[in-house]
Homo-oligomer: A and B are copies of this chain.
Protein backbone atom coordinates (compact mmCIF):
# COMPACT_ATOMS: atom_id res chain seq x y z
CA UNK A 1 0.00 0.00 0.00
CA UNK A 2 1.24 3.47 -0.85
CA UNK A 3 1.18 5.77 2.19
CA UNK A 4 -0.66 9.07 1.72
CA UNK A 5 1.62 11.91 0.64
CA UNK A 6 3.25 13.64 3.59
CA UNK A 7 1.70 17.03 3.11
CA UNK A 8 -0.07 19.40 5.39
CA UNK A 9 -3.81 19.45 5.01
CA UNK A 10 -4.20 22.91 6.52
CA UNK A 11 -6.64 25.15 4.82
CA UNK A 12 -6.41 28.76 5.80
CA UNK A 13 -9.50 29.86 7.64
CA UNK A 14 -11.12 26.42 7.99
CA UNK A 15 -13.10 26.26 11.19
CA UNK A 16 -15.27 23.20 10.62
CA UNK A 17 -12.83 20.44 11.41
CA UNK A 18 -15.27 17.58 11.81
CA UNK A 19 -14.70 16.32 8.29
CA UNK A 20 -10.90 16.45 8.47
CA UNK A 21 -8.88 13.30 8.85
CA UNK A 22 -5.87 13.24 11.13
CA UNK A 23 -3.18 15.11 9.23
CA UNK A 24 0.18 13.57 8.48
CA UNK A 25 3.11 14.93 10.47
CA UNK A 26 4.88 17.88 8.92
CA UNK A 27 7.89 16.97 6.81
CA UNK A 28 10.45 19.13 5.05
CA UNK A 29 8.48 18.86 1.84
CA UNK A 30 5.31 19.90 3.61
CA UNK A 31 6.75 23.26 4.67
CA UNK A 32 6.40 24.96 1.29
CA UNK A 33 2.84 23.73 0.95
CA UNK A 34 1.90 25.02 4.36
CA UNK A 35 3.48 28.40 3.71
CA UNK A 36 1.66 28.62 0.40
CA UNK A 37 -1.68 28.03 2.16
CA UNK A 38 -1.32 31.32 4.03
CA UNK A 39 -0.81 34.89 2.84
CA UNK A 40 2.80 35.89 2.28
CA UNK A 41 4.48 36.70 5.59
CA UNK A 42 4.39 40.45 6.10
CA UNK A 43 5.86 41.23 9.50
CA UNK A 44 7.01 44.81 9.95
CA UNK A 45 8.65 46.53 12.90
CA UNK A 46 7.85 44.73 16.17
CA UNK A 47 5.03 42.81 14.46
CA UNK A 48 3.30 40.17 16.57
CA UNK A 49 3.84 36.71 15.07
CA UNK A 50 0.80 34.75 13.93
CA UNK A 51 2.01 31.50 15.47
CA UNK A 52 -1.15 29.62 14.55
CA UNK A 53 -0.51 30.09 10.87
CA UNK A 54 3.09 28.90 11.31
CA UNK A 55 1.78 25.71 12.96
CA UNK A 56 -1.04 25.28 10.49
CA UNK A 57 -4.47 26.08 11.83
CA UNK A 58 -5.84 22.57 11.60
CA UNK A 59 -2.67 20.52 11.89
CA UNK A 60 -2.90 19.88 15.62
CA UNK A 61 -6.62 20.00 16.34
CA UNK A 62 -6.88 16.23 16.78
CA UNK A 63 -4.48 16.38 19.73
CA UNK A 64 -5.42 16.94 23.37
CA UNK A 65 -4.97 20.37 24.92
CA UNK A 66 -2.16 21.02 27.38
CA UNK A 67 -2.88 20.87 31.08
CA UNK A 68 -3.29 24.21 32.81
CA UNK A 69 -0.43 25.25 35.08
CA UNK A 70 -2.09 28.01 37.09
CA UNK A 71 -1.19 26.17 40.29
CA UNK A 72 2.48 26.15 39.35
CA UNK A 73 3.28 29.78 38.57
CA UNK A 74 5.13 31.92 41.09
CA UNK A 75 3.67 35.09 42.56
CA UNK A 76 6.16 37.04 40.46
CA UNK A 77 4.90 35.46 37.27
CA UNK A 78 1.26 35.77 38.23
CA UNK A 79 1.78 39.48 38.87
CA UNK A 80 2.96 40.14 35.33
CA UNK A 81 0.30 42.03 33.44
CA UNK A 82 1.98 42.70 30.11
CA UNK A 83 2.69 46.05 28.62
CA UNK A 84 -0.13 48.61 28.43
CA UNK A 85 1.63 50.50 25.65
CA UNK A 86 1.73 47.38 23.48
CA UNK A 87 -2.03 47.14 23.97
CA UNK A 88 -2.36 50.47 22.17
CA UNK A 89 -0.83 48.94 19.06
CA UNK A 90 -4.20 47.48 18.12
CA UNK A 91 -5.35 50.92 16.99
CA UNK A 92 -2.66 50.92 14.33
CA UNK A 93 -4.85 48.52 12.36
CA UNK A 94 -7.28 51.41 11.73
CA UNK A 95 -6.81 52.49 8.09
CA UNK A 96 -4.88 55.73 7.78
CA UNK A 97 -3.97 55.93 11.46
CA UNK A 98 -0.79 57.93 12.13
CA UNK A 99 1.19 56.83 15.15
CA UNK A 100 2.88 59.27 17.49
CA UNK A 101 2.68 56.46 20.02
CA UNK A 102 5.58 54.04 20.36
CA UNK A 103 9.00 55.55 21.08
CA UNK A 104 10.80 53.65 18.33
CA UNK A 105 13.60 55.38 16.47
CA UNK A 106 13.32 55.84 12.74
CA UNK A 107 15.48 53.40 10.79
CA UNK A 108 16.88 56.32 8.77
CA UNK A 109 19.14 56.82 11.80
CA UNK A 110 20.57 53.31 11.81
CA UNK A 111 24.09 53.71 10.39
CA UNK A 112 23.89 50.48 8.39
CA UNK A 113 22.93 50.00 4.77
CA UNK A 114 23.58 46.25 4.61
CA UNK A 115 24.48 43.22 6.68
CA UNK A 116 26.24 40.27 5.03
CA UNK A 117 27.48 36.90 6.11
CA UNK A 118 29.51 34.41 4.11
CA UNK A 119 28.21 30.90 4.67
CA UNK A 120 28.83 27.41 3.31
CA UNK A 121 27.01 25.90 0.36
CA UNK A 122 24.99 22.83 1.30
CA UNK A 123 27.28 19.80 1.29
CA UNK A 124 30.47 21.89 1.26
CA UNK A 125 30.49 22.55 4.95
CA UNK A 126 34.16 22.45 5.94
CA UNK A 127 35.98 25.58 6.97
CA UNK A 128 38.31 25.62 3.91
CA UNK A 129 35.40 24.98 1.54
CA UNK A 130 33.42 27.80 3.11
CA UNK A 131 36.36 30.15 2.79
CA UNK A 132 36.91 29.08 -0.82
CA UNK A 133 33.40 29.02 -2.23
CA UNK A 134 30.99 30.10 0.52
CA UNK A 135 28.07 32.27 -0.53
CA UNK A 136 27.73 35.86 0.64
CA UNK A 137 24.20 36.40 1.93
CA UNK A 138 23.27 40.06 2.04
CA UNK A 139 20.36 41.75 3.75
CA UNK A 140 19.66 45.27 2.50
CA UNK A 141 18.17 48.03 4.57
CA UNK A 142 14.79 48.18 2.85
CA UNK A 143 14.55 44.75 1.23
CA UNK A 144 10.98 44.33 2.50
CA UNK A 145 9.69 47.56 0.96
CA UNK A 146 11.57 46.70 -2.23
CA UNK A 147 10.07 43.18 -2.31
CA UNK A 148 13.53 41.58 -2.24
CA UNK A 149 13.12 39.67 1.03
CA UNK A 150 10.71 39.09 3.89
CA UNK A 151 13.24 40.48 6.38
CA UNK A 152 15.65 43.38 6.27
CA UNK A 153 17.97 45.66 8.22
CA UNK A 154 15.43 48.40 8.90
CA UNK A 155 13.10 45.91 10.61
CA UNK A 156 15.56 43.53 12.26
CA UNK A 157 17.64 46.36 13.74
CA UNK A 158 14.64 48.10 15.33
CA UNK A 159 12.83 47.05 18.49
CA UNK A 160 11.06 43.72 18.30
CA UNK A 161 8.83 41.46 20.33
CA UNK A 162 10.07 39.46 23.32
CA UNK A 163 9.27 36.37 21.26
CA UNK A 164 11.74 37.35 18.54
CA UNK A 165 10.90 38.21 14.94
CA UNK A 166 8.06 36.46 13.12
CA UNK A 167 10.46 35.69 10.28
CA UNK A 168 12.87 33.53 12.24
CA UNK A 169 10.21 32.25 14.64
CA UNK A 170 8.33 30.70 11.73
CA UNK A 171 11.40 28.70 10.73
CA UNK A 172 11.97 27.64 14.35
CA UNK A 173 8.39 26.46 14.76
CA UNK A 174 8.52 24.46 11.53
CA UNK A 175 11.83 22.91 12.54
CA UNK A 176 10.47 22.00 15.97
CA UNK A 177 7.42 20.39 14.42
CA UNK A 178 9.45 18.41 11.89
CA UNK A 179 11.77 17.05 14.58
CA UNK A 180 9.46 16.66 17.60
CA UNK A 181 5.83 17.02 16.50
CA UNK A 182 4.59 17.66 20.05
CA UNK A 183 1.57 15.44 20.79
CA UNK A 184 -0.68 18.17 22.18
CA UNK A 185 -2.53 20.92 20.48
CA UNK A 186 -1.53 24.24 21.94
CA UNK A 187 2.27 24.09 21.91
CA UNK A 188 4.12 27.30 21.17
CA UNK A 189 7.67 28.47 20.70
CA UNK A 190 9.34 31.70 21.69
CA UNK A 191 12.92 32.72 21.20
CA UNK A 192 15.27 33.11 24.12
CA UNK A 193 18.61 34.85 24.32
CA UNK A 194 20.13 31.46 25.12
CA UNK A 195 19.24 28.60 27.43
CA UNK A 196 21.21 30.04 30.35
CA UNK A 197 18.88 33.01 30.42
CA UNK A 198 15.85 30.80 29.71
CA UNK A 199 16.67 28.74 32.78
CA UNK A 200 16.99 31.84 34.97
CA UNK A 201 13.60 33.03 33.72
CA UNK A 202 11.97 29.60 34.04
CA UNK A 203 13.03 29.30 37.67
CA UNK A 204 11.53 32.73 38.38
CA UNK A 205 8.35 31.76 36.56
CA UNK A 206 7.74 28.65 38.64
CA UNK A 207 9.71 28.84 41.87
CA UNK A 208 9.80 30.79 45.10
CA UNK A 209 12.62 31.16 47.59
CA UNK A 210 12.75 28.28 50.04
CA UNK A 211 11.49 25.70 47.55
CA UNK A 212 13.42 22.80 46.05
CA UNK A 213 14.02 21.68 42.50
CA UNK A 214 15.23 18.36 41.16
CA UNK A 215 18.23 17.72 38.91
CA UNK A 216 20.67 14.95 38.04
CA UNK A 217 23.05 14.46 40.97
CA UNK A 218 25.86 15.73 38.76
CA UNK A 219 24.52 18.63 36.77
CA UNK A 220 25.35 21.74 34.75
CA UNK A 221 27.00 23.97 37.32
CA UNK A 222 25.46 27.20 36.02
CA UNK A 223 22.01 25.70 36.72
CA UNK A 224 22.91 25.32 40.38
CA UNK A 225 24.53 28.75 40.43
CA UNK A 226 21.33 30.19 38.99
CA UNK A 227 19.00 28.42 41.39
CA UNK A 228 20.85 28.83 44.70
CA UNK A 229 20.88 32.66 44.86
CA UNK A 230 17.11 32.56 44.32
CA UNK A 231 16.91 30.60 47.54
CA UNK A 232 16.21 27.30 45.79
CA UNK A 233 17.61 23.99 47.03
CA UNK A 234 18.77 21.61 44.35
CA UNK A 235 18.01 17.99 45.13
CA UNK A 236 20.20 15.51 43.25
CA UNK A 237 18.50 12.53 41.59
CA UNK A 238 20.46 9.29 41.16
CA UNK A 239 21.91 8.35 37.76
CA UNK A 240 23.30 5.34 35.95
CA UNK A 241 24.86 4.87 32.52
CA UNK A 242 21.51 5.87 30.96
CA UNK A 243 21.34 9.09 32.95
CA UNK A 244 18.63 10.07 35.41
CA UNK A 245 17.05 7.16 37.31
CA UNK A 246 13.23 7.21 37.38
CA UNK A 247 13.27 4.98 40.46
CA UNK A 248 15.40 7.51 42.33
CA UNK A 249 13.13 10.34 41.19
CA UNK A 250 10.03 8.48 42.33
CA UNK A 251 11.59 7.56 45.63
CA UNK A 252 12.59 11.13 46.45
CA UNK A 253 9.12 12.43 45.64
CA UNK A 254 7.14 9.59 47.21
CA UNK A 255 9.04 9.93 50.48
CA UNK A 256 9.18 13.71 50.51
CA UNK A 257 8.69 15.13 53.97
CA UNK A 258 6.45 18.17 53.45
CA UNK A 259 7.27 19.38 56.92
CA UNK A 260 10.78 20.12 55.59
CA UNK A 261 9.53 22.16 52.67
CA UNK A 262 7.17 22.07 49.73
CA UNK A 263 7.46 18.98 47.55
CA UNK A 264 9.42 19.92 44.43
CA UNK A 265 7.66 19.95 41.07
CA UNK A 266 10.44 21.19 38.78
CA UNK A 267 12.75 18.62 37.23
CA UNK A 268 15.73 20.13 35.47
CA UNK A 269 17.33 17.56 33.18
CA UNK A 270 19.78 17.39 30.28
CA UNK A 271 18.58 14.16 28.65
CA UNK A 272 21.09 13.98 25.80
CA UNK A 273 24.88 14.09 26.23
CA UNK A 274 24.32 15.29 29.76
CA UNK A 275 26.73 17.85 31.18
CA UNK A 276 28.97 16.70 32.87
CA UNK A 277 28.43 12.92 32.68
CA UNK A 278 27.93 12.57 28.93
CA UNK A 279 25.05 10.15 29.53
CA UNK A 280 22.05 9.99 27.21
CA UNK A 281 18.67 8.79 28.40
CA UNK A 282 17.32 6.06 26.12
CA UNK A 283 13.80 6.32 24.70
CA UNK A 284 12.59 3.78 27.25
CA UNK A 285 14.27 5.70 30.08
CA UNK A 286 12.57 8.90 28.99
CA UNK A 287 9.17 7.23 28.92
CA UNK A 288 9.73 6.01 32.46
CA UNK A 289 10.85 9.43 33.66
CA UNK A 290 7.82 11.02 32.00
CA UNK A 291 5.53 8.59 33.81
CA UNK A 292 7.04 9.57 37.15
CA UNK A 293 6.59 13.20 36.16
CA UNK A 294 2.92 12.52 35.51
CA UNK A 295 2.54 10.65 38.78
CA UNK A 296 3.91 13.61 40.77
CA UNK A 297 2.63 16.34 38.43
CA UNK A 298 6.10 17.67 37.59
CA UNK A 299 7.14 20.28 35.08
CA UNK A 300 10.15 19.00 33.12
CA UNK A 301 12.72 21.59 32.09
CA UNK A 302 14.30 19.71 29.19
CA UNK A 303 17.61 21.43 28.46
CA UNK A 304 18.86 20.10 25.14
CA UNK A 305 21.86 21.99 23.78
CA UNK A 306 23.50 18.72 22.70
CA UNK A 307 20.48 17.06 21.10
CA UNK A 308 21.98 17.25 17.61
CA UNK A 309 25.39 16.19 18.84
CA UNK A 310 24.15 12.61 18.93
CA UNK A 311 26.85 10.57 17.27
CA UNK A 312 27.33 7.37 15.29
CA UNK A 313 27.64 4.24 17.44
CA UNK A 314 31.15 3.65 18.77
CA UNK A 315 32.63 0.55 17.19
CA UNK A 316 36.01 0.43 18.94
CA UNK A 317 39.54 1.43 18.09
CA UNK A 318 40.18 -0.48 14.86
CA UNK A 319 36.69 -1.46 13.73
CA UNK A 320 35.04 0.02 10.62
CA UNK A 321 32.71 2.99 11.09
CA UNK A 322 28.96 2.70 10.89
CA UNK A 323 27.82 4.30 7.62
CA UNK A 324 26.28 7.76 8.01
CA UNK A 325 22.50 8.30 7.76
CA UNK A 326 21.44 7.86 4.14
CA UNK A 327 18.57 10.36 4.24
CA UNK A 328 17.03 13.08 6.36
CA UNK A 329 14.38 10.60 7.50
CA UNK A 330 17.01 8.10 8.57
CA UNK A 331 18.89 10.84 10.40
CA UNK A 332 15.81 12.01 12.28
CA UNK A 333 14.83 8.43 13.09
CA UNK A 334 18.27 7.77 14.54
CA UNK A 335 17.76 10.51 17.14
CA UNK A 336 16.55 9.54 20.61
CA UNK A 337 13.00 10.88 20.91
CA UNK A 338 12.76 14.01 23.03
CA UNK A 339 10.58 14.50 26.09
CA UNK A 340 8.73 17.06 24.01
CA UNK A 341 7.83 14.38 21.46
CA UNK A 342 6.14 12.29 24.16
CA UNK A 343 4.59 15.20 26.06
CA UNK A 344 0.84 14.55 25.86
CA UNK A 345 0.21 16.81 28.89
CA UNK A 346 2.17 19.90 27.90
CA UNK A 347 4.32 19.55 31.04
CA UNK A 348 7.66 19.90 29.26
CA UNK A 349 9.47 23.20 28.80
CA UNK A 350 12.04 22.29 26.18
CA UNK A 351 15.04 24.58 25.79
CA UNK A 352 16.83 24.51 22.44
CA UNK A 353 19.87 26.51 21.50
CA UNK A 354 21.91 27.34 18.43
CA UNK A 355 25.04 27.61 20.58
CA UNK A 356 26.42 24.15 19.93
CA UNK A 357 25.26 23.68 16.34
CA UNK A 358 25.62 27.17 14.82
CA UNK A 359 27.51 29.52 17.15
CA UNK A 360 27.23 30.50 20.84
CA UNK A 361 27.73 34.15 19.92
CA UNK A 362 24.34 34.23 18.20
CA UNK A 363 22.74 34.29 21.68
CA UNK A 364 19.62 32.74 20.19
CA UNK A 365 17.75 29.79 21.56
CA UNK A 366 14.08 28.99 21.97
CA UNK A 367 11.68 27.28 24.28
CA UNK A 368 8.81 25.05 23.30
CA UNK A 369 6.01 24.68 25.83
CA UNK A 370 2.29 25.13 26.19
CA UNK A 371 0.82 28.41 25.05
CA UNK A 372 0.11 29.33 28.65
CA UNK A 373 3.73 28.85 29.72
CA UNK A 374 5.14 30.57 26.64
CA UNK A 375 2.86 33.53 27.21
CA UNK A 376 4.12 33.84 30.82
CA UNK A 377 7.68 33.71 29.51
CA UNK A 378 7.10 36.40 26.89
CA UNK A 379 5.54 38.93 29.26
CA UNK A 380 8.71 38.68 31.33
CA UNK A 381 10.99 38.86 28.28
CA UNK A 382 9.17 41.99 27.12
CA UNK A 383 10.40 43.85 30.21
CA UNK A 384 13.80 42.17 30.65
CA UNK A 385 15.79 40.39 27.96
CA UNK A 386 13.52 41.38 25.06
CA UNK A 387 14.11 39.30 21.93
CA UNK A 388 17.53 38.22 20.65
CA UNK A 389 19.83 40.61 18.81
CA UNK A 390 18.49 41.71 15.44
CA UNK A 391 21.97 41.27 13.94
CA UNK A 392 21.86 37.62 15.01
CA UNK A 393 18.27 37.04 13.98
CA UNK A 394 18.76 38.52 10.53
CA UNK A 395 21.97 36.50 10.00
CA UNK A 396 20.31 33.25 11.03
CA UNK A 397 17.23 33.98 8.95
CA UNK A 398 19.36 34.53 5.86
CA UNK A 399 21.28 31.33 6.55
CA UNK A 400 18.55 28.98 7.73
CA UNK A 401 15.45 30.11 5.88
CA UNK A 402 16.62 31.75 2.67
CA UNK A 403 19.90 29.94 2.01
CA UNK A 404 19.89 26.41 3.47
CA UNK A 405 16.22 25.82 4.15
CA UNK A 406 15.16 23.00 6.44
CA UNK A 407 16.78 20.35 4.22
CA UNK A 408 20.14 22.12 4.13
CA UNK A 409 20.07 22.57 7.88
CA UNK A 410 19.53 18.83 8.42
CA UNK A 411 22.48 18.22 6.08
CA UNK A 412 24.53 20.54 8.26
CA UNK A 413 23.42 18.66 11.38
CA UNK A 414 24.45 15.34 9.77
CA UNK A 415 27.83 16.94 9.05
CA UNK A 416 28.09 17.95 12.72
CA UNK A 417 27.11 14.42 13.79
CA UNK A 418 29.98 12.95 11.80
CA UNK A 419 32.48 15.57 12.95
CA UNK A 420 31.67 14.97 16.61
CA UNK A 421 31.81 11.23 16.01
CA UNK A 422 35.40 11.69 14.78
CA UNK A 423 36.31 13.78 17.80
CA UNK A 424 34.69 11.39 20.24
CA UNK A 425 36.52 8.48 18.61
CA UNK A 426 39.85 10.27 18.92
CA UNK A 427 39.42 10.73 22.66
CA UNK A 428 38.11 7.20 23.19
CA UNK A 429 41.04 5.74 21.28
CA UNK A 430 43.37 7.84 23.41
CA UNK A 431 41.67 6.70 26.62
CA UNK A 432 42.08 3.06 25.55
CA UNK A 433 45.75 3.72 24.83
CA UNK A 434 46.78 5.78 27.84
CA UNK A 435 44.50 5.30 30.82
CA UNK A 436 44.99 2.54 33.38
CA UNK A 437 41.72 0.62 33.22
CA UNK A 438 42.13 -0.72 36.73
CA UNK A 439 41.78 2.79 38.20
CA UNK A 440 39.80 4.76 35.59
CA UNK A 441 36.38 3.80 34.21
CA UNK A 442 34.37 5.35 31.40
CA UNK A 443 31.48 4.65 29.05
CA UNK A 444 31.70 5.79 25.42
CA UNK A 445 29.37 8.79 25.15
CA UNK A 446 26.74 8.59 22.42
CA UNK A 447 26.06 12.32 22.40
CA UNK A 448 27.42 15.68 23.46
CA UNK A 449 30.86 17.03 24.21
CA UNK A 450 31.91 15.25 27.36
CA UNK A 451 33.87 12.24 28.60
CA UNK A 452 33.24 11.35 32.22
CA UNK A 453 36.06 9.52 33.91
CA UNK A 454 35.36 7.70 37.14
CA UNK A 455 38.39 7.35 39.40
CA UNK A 456 38.48 4.33 41.68
CA UNK A 457 39.61 6.36 44.67
CA UNK A 458 39.27 3.35 46.98
CA UNK A 459 42.35 1.92 45.27
CA UNK A 460 44.31 5.13 45.77
CA UNK A 461 47.35 4.51 48.00
CA UNK A 462 46.31 7.35 50.31
CA UNK A 463 42.68 6.29 50.73
CA UNK A 464 42.22 4.99 54.28
CA UNK A 465 38.47 4.67 54.30
CA UNK A 466 35.68 7.13 54.91
CA UNK A 467 36.31 9.54 57.74
CA UNK A 468 39.92 8.44 57.99
CA UNK A 469 42.74 10.53 56.51
CA UNK A 470 42.09 12.17 53.16
CA UNK A 471 38.53 12.68 51.98
CA UNK A 472 37.29 12.13 48.45
CA UNK A 473 37.48 15.90 47.88
CA UNK A 474 41.07 15.93 49.18
CA UNK A 475 42.05 13.19 46.76
CA UNK A 476 40.19 14.86 43.91
CA UNK A 477 42.12 18.09 44.49
CA UNK A 478 45.40 16.20 44.78
CA UNK A 479 44.86 14.31 41.51
CA UNK A 480 43.68 17.54 39.85
CA UNK A 481 46.91 19.29 40.82
CA UNK A 482 49.01 16.36 39.64
CA UNK A 483 47.25 16.39 36.29
CA UNK A 484 47.75 20.15 36.00
CA UNK A 485 51.43 19.54 36.67
CA UNK A 486 51.43 17.10 33.77
CA UNK A 487 50.07 19.86 31.55
CA UNK A 488 46.39 19.19 31.04
CA UNK A 489 43.28 20.85 32.38
CA UNK A 490 40.23 18.69 33.11
CA UNK A 491 37.28 19.65 35.30
CA UNK A 492 36.74 18.29 38.79
CA UNK A 493 33.55 16.29 39.20
CA UNK A 494 32.69 18.02 42.46
CA UNK A 495 32.21 21.28 40.59
CA UNK A 496 29.08 19.68 39.17
CA UNK A 497 27.43 18.49 42.37
CA UNK A 498 23.73 19.28 42.29
CA UNK A 499 23.85 19.44 46.07
CA UNK A 500 27.31 20.00 47.51
CA UNK A 501 25.92 19.27 50.96
CA UNK A 502 24.78 15.74 50.06
CA UNK A 503 26.98 12.71 50.67
CA UNK A 504 29.00 11.60 47.63
CA UNK A 505 30.91 8.36 47.20
CA UNK A 506 32.21 8.92 43.69
CA UNK A 507 35.16 10.79 42.19
CA UNK A 508 35.06 11.95 38.59
CA UNK A 509 36.79 14.18 36.09
CA UNK A 510 35.16 15.71 33.03
CA UNK A 511 36.99 16.09 29.73
CA UNK A 512 35.68 17.71 26.57
CA UNK A 513 36.67 16.65 23.08
CA UNK A 514 34.81 19.59 21.49
CA UNK A 515 37.42 22.32 21.58
CA UNK A 516 41.02 21.13 21.17
CA UNK A 517 42.72 20.16 17.90
CA UNK A 518 42.69 16.41 17.21
CA UNK A 519 46.41 15.85 17.87
CA UNK A 520 46.20 17.84 21.09
CA UNK A 521 43.39 15.63 22.37
CA UNK A 522 45.58 12.55 22.08
CA UNK A 523 48.48 14.28 23.82
CA UNK A 524 46.24 15.65 26.56
CA UNK A 525 44.77 12.25 27.42
CA UNK A 526 48.29 10.85 27.49
CA UNK A 527 49.26 13.48 30.06
CA UNK A 528 46.11 12.80 32.05
CA UNK A 529 47.04 9.11 32.08
CA UNK A 530 50.55 9.93 33.28
CA UNK A 531 49.11 11.98 36.12
CA UNK A 532 46.79 9.19 37.18
CA UNK A 533 49.58 6.60 36.99
CA UNK A 534 51.76 8.76 39.18
CA UNK A 535 48.95 9.15 41.71
CA UNK A 536 48.27 5.43 41.83
CA UNK A 537 51.95 4.50 42.00
CA UNK A 538 52.25 3.01 38.52
CA UNK A 539 55.43 3.40 36.44
CA UNK A 540 55.26 5.91 33.56
CA UNK A 541 54.14 4.64 30.16
CA UNK A 542 56.81 3.69 27.64
CA UNK A 543 57.07 6.19 24.85
CA UNK A 544 55.27 3.74 22.52
CA UNK A 545 52.22 4.04 24.70
CA UNK A 546 52.29 0.66 26.47
CA UNK A 547 52.99 0.18 30.16
Contacts and interface: CB of A to CB of B under 8 A. Distances in A.
Interface of A: 75-77, 79-85, 88, 91-92, 94, 96-106, 108-120, 125-127, 130-131, 134, 136, 141, 156-160, 193-194, 196-197, 200, 221-222, 225-226, 228-231, 275, 355-364, 380, 382-386, 388-395, 399, 412, 416, 419, 449-450, 484, 487-491, 495, 511-516, 520-521, 523-525, 527-528
A225 B77 CA distance: 11
B76 A230 contact: yes
Given A102-B512, A391-B395, A489-B88, A136 B114 contact: yes
- The CB with the most chain B CB atoms within 10 A, among A109, A228, A355, is that of A109
19 contacts: A81-B225, A85-B221, A88-B495, A96-B487, A100-B489, A100-B516, A105-B355, A106-B516, A109-B357, A111-B119, A112-B119, A112-B395, A113-B118, A115-B117, A115-B118, A116-B116, A116-B117, A200-B384, A364-B389
A361 B111 contact: no
State the number of copies, please: 2
Contacts of A100: 488-490, 511-513, 515-516, 521, 524-525, 528
A97 to B, nearest CB: 6
A228 B110 CA distance: 33
A102 B383 contact: no
Given A111-B412, A134-B113, A194-B386, A104 B360 contact: yes
A127 B101 CA distance: 24
A91 B489 CA distance: 7
Contacts of A412: 111
Given A125-B111, A383-B225, A103 B449 contact: yes
A205 to B, nearest CB: 10
A85 B516 CA distance: 17
A225 B382 CA distance: 10
A103 B451 CA distance: 11
A92 B489 contact: yes
A515 B77 CA distance: 32
Contact of A359 (B110, B382, B511, B523): B110
A141 B127 CA distance: 10
A112 B103 contact: no
A116 B119 contact: no
Given A76-B231, A99-B488, A102-B515, 8 more contacts: A79-B231, A83-B221, A91-B484, A94-B487, A97-B488, A115-B118, A361-B391, A391-B392
Contacts of A363: 193, 363, 386, 388-390
A197 B97 contact: no
B385 A197 contact: yes
A386 to B, nearest CB: 6
A8 to B, nearest CB: 28
A113 to B, nearest CB: 4
- The CB with the most chain B CB atoms within 10 A, among A79, A83, A193, A226, is that of A193
Contacts of A113: 118-120, 127, 130-131, 134
Contacts of A104: 360, 512, 514-515
Contact of A110 (B79, B358, B512, B515): B358
B98 A127 contact: no
Contacts of A490: 100-101
Contacts of A120: 111, 113
Contacts of A449: 103, 105
A517 to B, nearest CB: 8
A370 to B, nearest CB: 20
> What 8 A-B pairs have minimum CB-CB distances, sorted nearest first?
A361-B390, A389-B389, A157-B361, A79-B229, A157-B359, A200-B384, A100-B511, A114-B118
B516 A99 contact: yes
B106 A112 contact: no
Nearest to A80: B229
Contacts of A108: 126-127
A391 to B, nearest CB: 4
A421 to B, nearest CB: 13
A410 to B, nearest CB: 13
A516 to B, nearest CB: 6
A140 B283 CA distance: 42
Nearest to A514: B105
B388 A197 contact: no
Contacts of A99: 488-489, 515-516, 524
B389 A362 contact: yes
A143 B523 CA distance: 28
B98 A386 contact: no
A384 B204 CA distance: 12
A311 to B, nearest CB: 14
A381 to B, nearest CB: 9
A121 to B, nearest CB: 10
Contacts of A76: 229-231
B109 A118 contact: no
A80 B159 contact: no
Contacts of A115: 115-118, 395
